[in-house]
Structure 1
Amino acid sequence: MRRTGGRAATRALATSVLVVATAAGLTLAPAAAASADSIRDAQYWLSDYGVQQAWQTTRGAGVTVAVIDTGVDGSVRELQGAVVGGTDMSGQGSADGQRPVGSDDPAHGTLVGSLLAGRGTATGDGVIGVAPEADLLSISVGFGAGAVDSDQQIADAVTWAVDHGADVINMSLTRNTLDWPTSWDEAFLHAQEEDVVVVAAAGNRGSGTTEVGAPATMPGVLTVAGVDRSGAASFDASSQGITIGVSAPSEKLVGVGPGDVHYSWSGTSGATPLVAGMVALVRSAHPELGAADVINRVVSTADPRGASQPDPLYGYGLVDAAAAVQRTVAPVTANPMGDLAEWIRVHRRADAPAPSAGAVAPVEPAPVPTPQSDGDHPLRALLPTVESMRSTGLPLIVFAVFGAALVAVGAGAVRQFRRRHEQE
């Protein structure tokens, strides 16, 4: 659609392991022991964030969402029939973009796809996405080892998605810099001119991303931060910045990967497809709306959080799928997330010197409190550094925290983070 305008889930998902993605790749904690219906029960966001109520209006039929990631494996049981096209930009994947790229993090793209448009199973269990009737395009990208420059892969992926009918683009990845290459200007402007909504992850503080990086800093992009089960800003599985649009669950997520293996994971990599799925629901229910109005429905119907609107931790608040789909919302004349064309006009003047790598900060964040624990974070030694992330350009870290002892350590840091934020 293109617009012109076997035990309980608590046990299966709580094995005594702390698995963290490293700079070399991604490791996830499988929840293979869980029964399929317990997997469905673990998807708390379906009820807590209005998704099931929104399904009374639409389940995303007629909308195409491109997933730019490591590849979405359409042979997975819960994704049967979901992936209708795709391609590979890395030179390492399959022609249809469905073969996972990378030896250490092959599940990432499939997990993202399952949260977005998983079909569940014929018996009504398993992983079901926020928009279970939307179609997916799988565009595989591989960073760090391919012959194609990673920045160019992203530019080419966005352009391909737009030219092949995407209504929404999901980007659960980060450049970990505020700036972006000029090749992205053209690609993302093409998306906005063709009325495509781009949804991007804010990044994870726990993996070294203390503030959002491109594409989440780009005007017009709907940037997603993460919250815990209670709706409080996540310490590890989120970041902060003035470009954050909305927040969605980023902790205790469950998805399905290649081989029909279920995983427990955390991070804005997972929050982003939840929001992209909600965008797909809005586009399905309101096919007459342009991208600016679609984004406005999502941000204006969010449940406000934080001290300001937008807030550097929550954006405009916690997403509400039912409200975004069903509430009466006045039209807007501009994208609430900004105007990329205007930014390019101001910052990419023909007479301006070419920026050196990392020298341009297109979005200057206002001073905001930096959430931190006293001293070093207790899990810091197990997490990759910012430098290692920048050198590889890997997708956002997906990590899972399990085991009573490790949970207790992490919970202390989160409580300290919340106390600091509440006092500010």
Structure 2
Amino acid sequence: LADYGIEQAWQTTRGAGSTIAVIDTGIARGPVEFAGAVADGTDVSGAGSADGRTPVGAVDSDHGSWVASLAAGRGTGSDTGMIGVAPEAQLLSVSVGFGSAATRSFADQIADAIRWSVDNGADVINMSLTTNAPDWPQSWDDAFLYAYENDVVVVVAAGNRASGTTRVGAPATIPGVLTVAGVDPQGNASVNASTQGITIGVSAPSEKLIGVSADGRLVVWDGTSGAAPIVAGVAALVRSAHPDLDADNVINRIIRTARPASGPKELYGYGLVDAGAAVSASVEAVSENPMGSLEEWVRLYRRAQSEPRAAEPVAPVDIPALPPADTIDRAGSPLLPDSGTLLYGTLPLTVATAAAILVALGVTAAVRRIRLASRAPSR
């Protein structure tokens, strides 16, 4: 609490007036640390209770309570029990199921969980979960855009190498979310309880954390699942201290006031979170989310969703008139004479034939006269 400026921030605010939705396995009813902290809840897994307060899952049922206790645990009395980063903020418990602990698809659960959280007053959403893959379902586009359009800060864990996440996976890769990496007690990037990637915004403790289990027991645990609610608590403190700031400027204050780390941005983001500076420092305002624009990403990469472009108008073109067509000689029957055959063939042949006939007739007549003359009686 002292190393990350949280006690300093408490001199200004403890998060009153802000609401953190914990989208996880459910915040248990029993622990006294949650007395008066949980304003409402729901179940989107199909396996929990209607108010989201029944832990879901045989393995991870305590996870949601651990996360919530870091964000806004109330303690058990004066200086006793466990206290969270924003102990006067309200919590919303949204229970989701992983694997066989759910009767609905994980993609549908997350989309519904985000919308319910926004509709029920969350101004900060914490998601200590990962898909271990950089891509996300298309249905998440609208859900996350819905959160951004309603001025909600979305804080997401980067994931842990020890659990098989070798690179940042969705939802920590979605533009606009504040992705949190983890560091060890000395402030160095955690080898097992964190991962790396270019989408990391800030870093927070992820080793030797305390958490309140569903049965009220305190446990020690590791992971960016714990680093994320620490930063979500800081976001609640900033929103409480500066209610006029929109989500983009809340995120901007957190990353701009982070303490620089001696390592690449892929490990630490902008640095180690500093709650005191985030609440009280003078930070220049911004007009857009410094963690990127999901709307622009959708426009560029979800091409099927883009509006069709209107066809460009085409100017009329004058085309010159076509020249008159050539005269066509119609083909005749090869059995009928044409003008050429009549003039040069049929007519001369007819004349010659007639002359030959006349000559033949004259010769025949002459021969007959000679024969008759030879047969006359002599006198």
The amino acid that maps onto 2:171 is P
> How far is the alpha carbon of 1:349 from its aligned partner?
1.5
Partner of 1:64: 19
The amino acid that maps onto 2:95 is S
Confirm or deny: 8 A CA contact 1:306 1:313 kept in the other structure: no
Partner of 1:127: 82
Structure number with greater Rg is 2
Partner of 2:156: 200
Deviations 1:77-110 (A, max 9, x none): 1111111101000110010001100122211000
The amino acid that maps onto 1:109 is G
Q: SS at the partner of 1:350?
A: helix
CA distance in 2, matches of 1:307, 1:92: 43
CA distance in 1, matches of 2:212, 2:45: 23
Q: What TM-score does the superposition give when structure 2 sets the normalisation length?
A: 0.79
Confirm or deny: 8 A CA contact 2:299 2:305 kept in the other structure: no
Confirm or deny: 8 A CA contact 1:247 1:319 kept in the other structure: yes
Partner of 1:209: 165
Deviations 1:264-315 (A, max 9, x none): 000000000000000000000000000000000000000011445xx00000
The amino acid that maps onto 1:196 is V
Partner of 2:95: 140
State which drifts further: 194-203 or 102-111. Answer: 102-111
Confirm or deny: 8 A CA contact 2:178 2:201 kept in the other structure: yes
For residue 277 of structure 2, the aligned residue among 319, 323, 326 is 323
Q: SS at the partner of 1:47?
A: coil
Q: What TM-score does the superposition give when structure 1 sets the normalisation length?
A: 0.71
Partner of 1:252: 208
> How far is the alpha carbon of 1:75 from its aligned partner?
2.6
CA distance in 1, matches of 2:184, 2:263: 18
CA distance in 1, matches of 2:304, 2:167: 29
> How far is the alpha carbon of 1:121 from its aligned partner?
1.4
For residue 138 of structure 2, the aligned residue among 174, 178, 182 is 182
For residue 4 of structure 2, the aligned residue among 40, 49, 54 is 49
Confirm or deny: 8 A CA contact 1:231 1:249 kept in the other structure: yes
For residue 83 of structure 1, the aligned residue among 32, 38, 49 is 38
Confirm or deny: 8 A CA contact 1:74 1:81 kept in the other structure: no
Deviations 1:243-271 (A, max 9, x none): 00000000010111111111100000000
2:126 is the alignment partner of 1:163: no
- Equivalent residues in 2 for 1:8-47 (5 A)? 46-47=1-2
CA distance in 2, matches of 1:52, 1:87: 32
- Equivalent residues in 2 for 1:215-294 (5 A)? 215-294=171-250
Deviations 1:360-394 (A, max 9, x none): xxxxxxxxxxxxxxxxxxxxxxxxxxxxxxxxxxx
Partner of 1:109: 64
Partner of 2:259: 303
> How far is the alpha carbon of 1:124 from its aligned partner?
2.1
- Tell me, which stretches of 5 or more residues in structure 2 are unaligned? 307-379
CA distance in 1, matches of 2:25, 2:75: 21
CA distance in 2, matches of 1:301, 1:349: 37
- Tell me, which stretches of 5 or more residues in structure 1 are unaligned? 1-45, 353-424
For residue 345 of structure 1, the aligned residue among 299, 303, 309 is 299
Deviations 1:159-209 (A, max 9, x none): 110111100000000011100011100000000000000000000011110
> How far is the alpha carbon of 1:57 from its aligned partner?
0.2
The amino acid that maps onto 1:119 is R
Confirm or deny: 8 A CA contact 1:74 1:82 kept in the other structure: no
Q: SS at the partner of 1:138?
A: strand
Confirm or deny: 8 A CA contact 2:42 2:50 kept in the other structure: yes
Q: SS at the partner of 1:116?
A: helix
The amino acid that maps onto 1:172 is S
More contact order relative to length (CA 8 Å, sep ≥ 6)? 1
Deviations 1:25-65 (A, max 9, x none): xxxxxxxxxxxxxxxxxxxxx01100001000000000011
Partner of 2:105: 149
CA RMSD in angstroms, aligned pairs only: 1.0
The amino acid that maps onto 2:18 is V
Q: SS at the partner of 2:114?
A: helix
Confirm or deny: 8 A CA contact 1:137 1:161 kept in the other structure: yes
Q: SS at the partner of 1:161?
A: helix
> How far is the alpha carbon of 1:351 from its aligned partner?
6.9
Count of aligned residue pairs for this structure pair: 305
Confirm or deny: 8 A CA contact 1:224 1:246 kept in the other structure: yes
State which drifts further: 275-284 or 145-154. Answer: 145-154
> How far is the alpha carbon of 1:141 from its aligned partner?
0.3
> How far is the alpha carbon of 1:147 from its aligned partner?
1.9
State which drifts further: 298-307 or 247-256. Answer: 298-307
Structure 1 runs, 4 residues or longer, greater than 2 Å off: none
Deviations 1:195-224 (A, max 9, x none): 000000000011110110011000000000
